[in-house]
């Protein structure tokens, strides 16, 4: 999906925005909300790793 590409490029905010839009368009599809959580976890992990390495 577009969000996967965005996340792979480190564009986590854009990925979350894309997934949020998908969740709005398909509210019955839990996978979008699950994917948002996965992307947020990756974003936090990347932020933590960046802070450690300076």
Cα–Cα distance between 17 and 7 in angstroms, integer? Answer: 11
| Range of the structural domain that residue 13 is part of | 2-53
- Under a CB-based contact definition with an 8 Å cutoff, are residues 19 and 32 in contact? yes
Predicted model pTM? 0.86
CA angle, 42 then 33 then 41, to 5°:
15
Count of the separate structural domains present in the chain: 1
Give kind and range of the element (H or E) at residue 9.
none
Q: Report the share of the chain in percent with pLDDT over 70.
A: 98
Confidence category of residue 31, pLDDT binned at 50, 70, 90: very high
Confidence category of residue 32, pLDDT binned at 50, 70, 90: very high
pLDDT at 54 over 80: no
Residue 54's SS3 state is coil
């Amino acid at each position: 999906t577009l969000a996967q590409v965005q996340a792979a490029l480190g564009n986590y905010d854009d990925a979350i925005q894309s997934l949020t839009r998908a969740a709005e368009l398909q509210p019955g599809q839990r996978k979008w909300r699950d994917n948002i959580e996965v992307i947020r976890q990756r974003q936090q992990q990347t932020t933590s790793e960046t802070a450690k390495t300076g």
